[in-house]
Chains A and B, each alone.
Chain A
Amino acid sequence: MGIDLSVEIGKLKLKTPVLVASGTFGYEDDYADLLKSNRLGGLVTKTLTLKPRQGNPPPRTVETPWGMLNSIGLQNEGVDFFLEKKLPLLSQFKIPLIVSIAGERIEDYGLLAKKLDSVKEISALEINISCPNVETAEECLFAQDFYLTYGVVKAVRESTAKTIIAKLSPNVTDIVSIAQAAFDAGADGLGLVNTFLGMAIDIEKRKSKLGTLYGGLSGPAIKPLSLYLVYRVARAVKLPIIGMGGIISSADALEFFLAGATSIAVGTGNFINPQVTKEIVEGIEEYLKGHNLKSVRELVGALKVI
């Protein structure tokens, strides 16, 4: 009896429910080696912007207990460079490609979506409205405001027929209302969650240990926090969720399915072990076999609430 690991997010069909989170898995030659024998359901690219971005001053990462802070600042060569130089390599792996996009204004997102809509190698778009390390034209992150979230998702929805996934920020009072805004504007799925804002201070220099004052916290330290947010949103909003935040093992992944995630993404875990996603897929399979389950979909939201 075969185990069915496939899941769907909008029109996107994933062979396995395991993805890599944006910005944690490059498209360089070393990763090409890893991708030859992967079992990823999809590949999420590093976030692209309309124009190249030089990113934030170093140090851009600092390790904290069971986690790390980062302040990369979306360094990238821009969407045109990506389409010309990186896409040919990425599309050869036959894994659905989810391209992550970000902008400073609502219009930027619409323009990016329009540009990518006709590229057949791209399966879906992740709308990154939650990077804590970049300035926007607004007073907060798009994902920190109901109306801005609605505006961005709507602009993308009107520019593309591809599956769109809104990646939300945990740095909000009520993530359910933001998720609802993304749903109302036409998102096909939700990415939950981006990094938590955090700081680390060098007590001798009395300065931030990062090149910026604060950054985004990721890694096992945030797993209980992100799991809770996935649970909250899954109960309230009828959209498939890509759960992420501190997942480094198949047991972690299974917790997210039970809390209501349809699929999961691994971020910081790739740094500890670049082959961890393969081990997670195998671990999920083992669990399903051990529990006489036919499909991973049987686990989604199967948490027993007394």
Chain B
Amino acid sequence: MIQKKVKIVSNLQVVPEHFKMVLEAPEISQEAKPGQFLHIRIHEGLNPLLRRPFSIHRITSSQIEILYKIRGRGTEILSQHKSGELLDVIGPLGNGFPLPVTSNPKPVTSILAAGGVGVAPLAFLAEKLREIRNQKSKIKIIALLGAKTRDYILCEKEFKNFCEEIKVATEDGSWGFKGLVSDLLKKILTPNPKSETRIYAAGPILMLQEIKKIANMFKILAFGSLEENIACGLGGCWGCVVKTSQGYKRVCKEGPVFNLEEILWE
């Protein structure tokens, strides 16, 4: 865990209400794993008071990217920061996505299911999976990207570099499949697949709940990145818990990635 004031390299809108911020943070990027997050102090002021968590979207050896949607005052203020300014960042935090073992000779199909800005941690994961695949592991990577309309589709280009297959779902049918990512997922799964299949999901809670049901139906593993109100981000306050089959667990510490099977939603 590193706490540092880091420089904003760029902070640009990518689709309506969605921004991508690039930070110069070599110490953090070299430690980061897909699914982990940064805990960012939005500004020096006291309203909003608490830091905001952001999934790590992409990394290079010296830079780290976040992709975020404007949801409230915190992200609104974040979107107004200019390149060259400094941000107080803590990271990388939490446990990321479990990766397939590189020496595994059996073929594995990894399905990445992203709802809206949930695509953020999955881009980093896709790049990592491709790296593992290049080490002669038999991994097939399929990305399912969901958005409200065609105008809101994120990262389609990036995923083309990492995945064998990309499918897009839009709620209004303006691009790709008409419907939700979870509907699309159900459509592409087969009852007795030839290879082991794993789902990696991030997006709205209703989507994750649906994916948990689908994974259960098809008897496959599904890992999801969960969101909660996070206060300390370091496991100290026990504020960001989610109910699991083993009691309340912290999204910031044991998560944010969980095997969806163990999550008990009310």
Contact = CB atoms under 8 A, between A and B. Distances in A.
Contact of B237 (A24, A57, A58, A219): A24
Nearest to B48: A63
Nearest to A20: B236
Contacts of A25: 236
Interface in B58-107: 88, 90, 93
B41 A273 contact: yes
B212 interface: no
Contacts of A273: 3, 41, 88
Interface in A63-92: 63, 65-68, 70, 72, 75
Contact of A271 (B51, B241, B253): B51
A31 interface: yes
Contacts of A274: 3, 90, 232, 234
Given A65-B47, A220-B46, A55 B241 contact: yes
A30 B1 contact: yes
Interface in B182-240: 228-229, 231-240
Please classify the interface of chain B as helix (H, G, I), strand (E, B), loop, or mixed, using the class held by over half of its residues. Answer: loop
Interface in A13-31: 23-26, 28, 30-31
Contact of A72 (B88, B237, B247): B237
A67 B240 contact: no
B12 to A, nearest CB: 27
A72 B221 CA distance: 31
B241 A58 contact: yes
Contacts of B243: 57-58
A159 interface: no
Interface in A259-306: 268, 270-275
Contacts of B253: 28
Nearest to B232: A271
A24 to B, nearest CB: 6
Contact of A24 (B47, B229, B232): B232
B237 A28 contact: no
A90 to B, nearest CB: 13
A59 B228 contact: yes
A58 B242 contact: yes
A33 interface: yes
Given A65-B47, A271-B51, A273-B41, A30 B237 contact: no
A60 interface: yes
B234 A70 contact: no
A77 to B, nearest CB: 10
A61 interface: yes
B232 A270 contact: yes
A62 interface: yes
B155 interface: no
3 closest Cβ pairs, A-B complex = A26-B236, A61-B239, A28-B235
Given A31-B236, A61-B239, A275-B3, 20 more contacts: A23-B236, A25-B236, A26-B235, A31-B234, A46-B236, A46-B238, A59-B229, A60-B238, A60-B239, A61-B229, A61-B231, A63-B48, A66-B49, A219-B46, A270-B232, A271-B51, A271-B236, A271-B237, A273-B41, A274-B234
29 contacts: A23-B238, A24-B236, A26-B232, A28-B235, A28-B236, A30-B1, A30-B93, A30-B234, A31-B236, A54-B248, A55-B238, A55-B248, A57-B243, A58-B228, A58-B240, A59-B228, A60-B238, A61-B240, A63-B50, A66-B49, A72-B237, A75-B238, A75-B241, A248-B46, A271-B231, A271-B237, A273-B3, A273-B41, A274-B234
